[in-house]
Amino acid sequence: MNPFFARLNFSSAQATMRRLDKAFQAFFRRVKAGEEPGYPRFKGRDRFDGFTYPSVGDGARIIGNKLRLQHIGLVRINLHREIEGEIKTLSVKRQGGKWYGVAACELPDVEIRPSDRPIAGLDVGLESFVTHDEGDAEPPLQPLKRVLKHLRVAQRSLSRKKLGGSNRRKQKLKVAALHAKVANTRRDEHHKLAAKLTHRYGGIVVESLNIRGMVKNPKLARAVSDAGWGQFLTILKHKAAGAGVQFREVNARGTSQTCPACGAVAKKTLAQRRHVCACGYTAHRDQAAAQVILARGLLAGMRPVGLNADVGRHDPRSRLL
Ligand SMILES: [Zn+2]
């Protein structure tokens, strides 16, 4: 028996084993499905970047501005915001050479609030990060590009460092810190935009994305994974739930190839930036897609909630589908 294990919290070790089990289950599922399997990889201590306490109080607890971890002791923490609700699980993770604690809390459901704000269809894309059905567009997240450039330089320098050397170790930390910066900047931007949208609308319709399928297209891959739509939509969903704003995901099939005015199929290549339909309706292609998304949400039963809600704008018959 490795004496190291005696110093672990039982539930935490169990949670790690569950993660390993999940990795193997996924591996066997991929083998069965005939996909490229990718064998679960051994995580040495340089790569092992976190552990979880599945139930708070068992091995970990927050006391004031300190975190108590079994066998480690009291650790001073920098509480980034007030803890709301009841903490369910606590994770500790390492990112870019720094340690973070992540508390997952359970909050009571917020009821959908009556609102005279409109329901919006939103399309996520590359040209604009988000296009509203009314035509407004949120630009792609620019600050990321600068950090990514630094990251590429740092990575190149890392690949030239001698294996096992201390310089390589140092450079590795630098690269990890930059990765963390990219991830943090992106998450930050996603939170800001999600907050803006949930303030503006009483309901939000988006398409449910098959990010995996899109990442398989090698031309789009880099841009798609940089865009991080999946993360953004998850954040948006949670922000909406917390603000009592309606939220719905609709089928993404053909949203960019359908005319929002007449429902006809209007085929276009990625290079064609305008939707032009035989019925006479034309719009920017992303706006047209957002309008199709909105119409699908309304057909699925989304309704304005509130006395002053502008029903006319949301009559799905005005946008047949
Ligand atoms: Zn049309």
Instruction: Give the number of other CB atoms < 10 A from CB of residue 88.
Output: 12
Q: How far is the CA of 255 from the centre of ligand 1 (A)?
A: 13
Residue 308 has pLDDT above 60, yes or no: no
Report the distance separating Cα 309 and Cα 22, nearest Å.
Answer: 46
Q: Tokens for 204?
A: 């939000």
Find where tokens 């609030």 sit: 113
Q: How far is the CA of 217 from the centre of ligand 1 (A)?
A: 29
pLDDT band (50, 70, 90) for residue 48: low
Residue 207 has pLDDT above 70, yes or no: yes
Per-residue pLDDT tens for 94-123? 776 778 887 877 777 778 877 888 999 999
Q: Is 211 exposed, middle or buried (0-12, 13-18, 19+ CB in 10 A)?
A: middle
Taking the model in full, what pTM does it have?
Answer: 0.69
Q: Which of 38-42, 69-73, 78-82, 293-297 has the highest mean pLDDT?
A: 293-297
Which residue stretches of 228-282 are H helix?
Answer: 229-243
- Whether the CB-CB separation of 39 and 47 falls below 8 Å is answered with no
Which residue stretches of 49-126 are H helix?
Answer: none
Residue 290 is predicted with a pLDDT of: 96
Residue 319 has pLDDT above 50, yes or no: no
Q: How far is the CA of 316 from the centre of ligand 1 (A)?
A: 15
Report the distance separating Cα 125 and Cα 232, nearest Å.
Answer: 12
Per-residue pLDDT tens for 130-163? 999 999 999 987 656 777 888 889 989 998 888 8
Sign of the Cα pseudo-torsion (289, 321, 204, 254, in order):
negative
Which of 254, 258, 250, 312 has its CA nearest to residue 283?
Answer: 258
The average confidence (pLDDT) of the chain is 81
Residue 215 has pLDDT above 70, yes or no: no
- Which residues are CB-neighbours of 117 under 8 A, at least 6 positions away? 200, 201, 202
Q: How far is the CA of 311 from the centre of ligand 1 (A)?
A: 23
- Whether the CB-CB separation of 321 and 126 falls below 8 Å is answered with no
Residue 320 is predicted with a pLDDT of: 44
Residue 190 has pLDDT above 80, yes or no: yes
Q: How far is the CA of 206 from the centre of ligand 1 (A)?
A: 21
Q: What is the mean pLDDT of residues 54-68?
A: 79
Residue 144 is predicted with a pLDDT of: 67
Q: How far is the CA of 131 from the centre of ligand 1 (A)?
A: 20
Q: Tokens for 302?
A: 């989304």
Higher pLDDT, 82 or 244: 244
Q: Is 218 exposed, middle or buried (0-12, 13-18, 19+ CB in 10 A)?
A: exposed
Q: How far is the CA of 83 from the centre of ligand 1 (A)?
A: 50
Per-residue pLDDT tens for 244-281? 999 999 988 889 899 999 999 988 888 899 999 999 99
Higher pLDDT, 228 or 262: 262
Distances in whole angstroms, Cα of residue 139 to Cα of each of 124, 136, 143, 267: 11, 10, 11, 25
